[in-house]
Amino acid sequence: MILLVTPSLRAEDCVAALKNATGEEIELADSLRRAASLLRTESYQSVVLDQYLLETEPDETNMLMEHLGTAIPVQVNLAISSVDRVAREICAAVRRKKREELAARRAAEETLHSELSGIVTALLLSCEMAMDTPNLPAAAMERLRSTHDLVKKLRVQLQPTTTLHP
């Protein structure tokens, strides 16, 4: 969902153009105060801010920025920009955010995979070393083998072919 913040008379035209260009739901706020209120209750992919409001209401601008969360703020000048240009800028911002989120997700997956792989290797070695202990009771040996088998299954599940990205 995208939040458009503008008192412009062209707001409805802009909403229609943004909805058509992005396929996203567009919510309209005619003031920064209203936008901040919406940001406290909803999650938005992007917040399109009319430059006019940012220049005329600096205190409200700061309040709004505190509530953006993960939304990308996009500043536009609706007084001089065509709605098509605004739509292109928003589409570019949304694509950029999706690329950044994907890159962050991949980095997190790779970090987690690396950490888990190290732990799995340590568990396998510990089990193998424990199973080599002389005079180990049969019940303990069976538990170690069972644990070893489970850790080997975990290692297979952690193989790169099962990650969420290509």
Token pair for 122: 């340590």
Eight-class DSSP state of 35: H
* Confidence at residue 148, expressed as pLDDT on a 0 to 100 scale: 94
Give every CB contact of residue 164 below 8 A, 6+ residues apart in sequence: 105, 109
Residue 2 bridge partners (DSSP): 26, 46
Eight-class DSSP state of 71: P
Give every CB contact of residue 43 below 8 A, 6+ residues apart in sequence: 1, 69, 70, 71
* Confidence at residue 123, expressed as pLDDT on a 0 to 100 scale: 93
Structural domain 2-104, CATH architecture:
3-Layer(aba) Sandwich (3.40)
Token pair for 32: 């920064």
Cα 30 to Cα 52: distance, rounded to the nearest angstrom: 12
* Confidence at residue 161, expressed as pLDDT on a 0 to 100 scale: 60
Q: Which of 94, 99, 13, 2 is nearest to 49 (CA)?
A: 2
Eight-class DSSP state of 1: -
* Confidence at residue 8, expressed as pLDDT on a 0 to 100 scale: 87
Per-residue pLDDT of the chain (166 residues; tens, 9 = 90+): 999 999 988 888 889 988 988 888 999 999 999 999 999 999 998 999 999 888 888 888 888 888 898 888 999 988 888 888 888 888 888 888 889 989 999 999 899 988 998 999 999 999 999 999 999 999 999 999 999 999 999 988 888 764 454 4
The domains of the chain are located at 2-104, 106-162
